[in-house]
Structure 1
Amino acid sequence: MKKNEAYHDLFQNLQENGMSFDQVFDRIVTFMKLDPNGNYRLMVGTDSQVHKSTTVFITGLVIQNKGNGVWACIKKVVIPRKMTHLHERISLELSLTEEVVSMFTEERKNELINLVLPNIYQGATFTMEGHIDIGAGKRNKTSEFVKEMVTRIESMGVEPKIKPNAFVASSYANRYTK
């Protein structure tokens, strides 16, 4: 670990702990190189859980080759207080998602696109999505925030997904917030 690299900047999954973003990016490239004809979705989403004296945020990062497996990892951030205001929590969830999305610089995105580019006529695809743990349903407490949060993700050049299609936030990341 580099001296200036804070612990919260590290990623982990069931196989590895303490991965830097460079290592995560290398894993994604390696995964995509296994099948250059694949249909890839790079998805980032965050969920949170309020505990007794902390609020735990988990950002999930998933590269999926539709029908041919996934590689995934998480980044955990613990805020040392109960965050009871929904808008504050949803906004921080999105900020943490944006932080990870922003690590995919133009150069890095182009590197991933260039892995599938020679194979697009064989059906290869690559998309990048921001999964937001909110729903637009009338009874959903987060519905009033949908427009604001979707606009934030779109402004980063990433396709927004909300519930029920935001499974990286609402399902994968959620599992690790408990």
Structure 2
Amino acid sequence: MVNPRPAGHTFKNLQESKMEFEQVFERITEFMKSDPCGNYRLMVGTDSQVHRSHTIFITGIVIQNVGNGVWACIKKVIVPRKMTQLHERISLELSLTEEVVSLFTEDKKNELINIVLPNVYQGATFTIEGHIDIGAGIRNKTSEFVKEMVMRMESMGVEPKIKPDAFVASSYANRYTK
């Protein structure tokens, strides 16, 4: 088993650093309360990059009001070795995503749902997605893991998204793994 070394158990973005999850949750609720009629997608995904002596994992949390902006943050974990086995790396990416998704307890999910609930008949929506940095294409090295990883996300009650729809993992988090 890998003993990842979190670069602090905190989240950060361009405006703030060292946010605990409670602060992240506050920012998400503030963002949603600013437009309770919005179409919200809460997305969590992780990407990794193997470096010479370590592997960096970045988990992104993005709350998107479709067509009306986003609020996002990341959490960094460093594993002090080169993780060259693809399945091990993809599996740890998903475990880190699951860990963050699990911070959104039933109470917290209900709190977010209750922001849009009075406006559902005016078109307000809220979904939670787990973005997995894998693709199903025949030429994609990760295609053999799709079923396993998708089932893991579904078992958490989260809508799984794979490439090209997993942009929180494949684009946002990826940017910070370099």
How far has the Cα of 1:167 moved from its partner? 0.2
How far has the Cα of 1:9 moved from its partner? 1.4
1:126-137 to structure 2, matched below 5 A, reads 126-137=126-137
- Secondary structure of 1:40's counterpart equals strand
TM-score, normalised relative to structure 2: 0.96
Q: Which residue of 1 aligns with 2:3?
A: none
Partners of 1:72 and 1:7 in 2: CA distance = 18
Q: Which residue of 2 aligns with 1:27?
A: 27
Q: Which residue of 2 aligns with 1:51?
A: 51
* Inter-CA distance 7–174: structure 2 relative to 1 (3 Å threshold): closer
Letter in 2 for 1:131: H
Partners of 1:129 and 1:140 in 2: CA distance = 22
How far has the Cα of 1:7 moved from its partner? 5.0
Partners of 1:79 and 1:85 in 2: CA distance = 13
Partners of 1:45 and 1:117 in 2: CA distance = 25
Question: C-alpha deviations, 1:91-145, integer Å up to 9, x for none?
Answer: 0000000000000000000000000000000000000000000000000000000
Q: Which residue of 1 aligns with 2:110?
A: 110
Q: Which runs of 5+ in 1 are unaligned?
A: 1-5
Question: C-alpha deviations, 1:128-165, integer Å up to 9, x for none?
Answer: 00000000000000000000000000000000000000
How far has the Cα of 1:38 moved from its partner? 0.1
Identity among equivalent pairs (%): 81
Partners of 1:50 and 1:85 in 2: CA distance = 10
Partners of 1:83 and 1:150 in 2: CA distance = 22
1:84-99 to structure 2, matched below 5 A, reads 84-99=84-99
Contact persistence 2:7–2:78 (CA under 8 A): no
Aligned length: 173
Partners of 2:103 and 2:15 in 1: CA distance = 22
Where do 4+ consecutive residues of structure 1 move more than 3 Å?
A: none
TM-score, normalised relative to structure 1: 0.96
- Secondary structure of 1:140's counterpart equals coil
Question: C-alpha deviations, 1:18-45, integer Å up to 9, x for none?
Answer: 0000000000000000000000000000
Partners of 2:78 and 2:15 in 1: CA distance = 22
Letter in 2 for 1:122: Q
Q: Which residue of 1 aligns with 2:144?
A: 144
- Secondary structure of 2:8's counterpart equals helix
- Secondary structure of 1:108's counterpart equals helix
Q: Which runs of 5+ in 2 are unaligned?
A: 1-5
